[in-house]
Amino acid sequence: DAMVIQNPRYQVTQFGKPVTLSCSQTLNHNVMYWYQQKSSQAPKLLFHYYDKDFNNEADTPDNFQSRRPNTSFCFLDIRSPGLGDAAMYLCATSRPRGLGQSTDTQYFGPGTRLTVL
């Protein structure tokens, strides 16, 4: 089945130790998103890729970076995790409905729960 896969499902890291979360998709969608979701809160968009074009949200900390080496894979790098970065990280994908319309149905992966010790 076509899907969005996130690895690992659970990640434990130490304060200040870089960590990378992985997302892959078999949907062949050209837009990939990373969201941060803290407990009992709505998902918050960090950034997204439209093909190879990176779009950062204005309030995303510099500590968060992303890479998209090809259509199928996207990575979230947290350079120096702090205690406040402990959260669920969700990856999503979509295929825009037309030129200039980036909003479309987003399909989410199962998430990676990050714990910072």
- Contact residues toward other proteins (CB under 8 A) are 4, 6, 33, 40-43, 45, 48, 55, 88, 90, 92, 100-111, 113
The phi, psi pair for 111, rounded to 5°, reads 95, 155
Decide whether 15 or 45 has the Cβ nearer to other proteins.
45
Decide whether 56 or 65 has the Cβ nearer to other proteins.
56
Decide whether 16 or 61 has the Cβ nearer to other proteins.
61
Contact between 7 and 110 under an 8 Å Cβ cutoff? The reply is no
List the beta bridge partners of residue 87: 114
Contact between 72 and 57 under an 8 Å Cβ cutoff? The reply is no
> Shortest distance, CB of residue 42 to other proteins, whole angstroms?
4
> Shortest distance, CB of residue 51 to other proteins, whole angstroms?
13
Contact between 117 and 104 under an 8 Å Cβ cutoff? The reply is no
Pairwise CA distance, residues 72 & 106, whole Å:
15
Decide whether 9 or 79 has the Cβ nearer to other proteins.
9
The phi, psi pair for 98, rounded to 5°, reads -175, 170
> Shortest distance, CB of residue 4 to other proteins, whole angstroms?
8
> Shortest distance, CB of residue 43 to other proteins, whole angstroms?
6
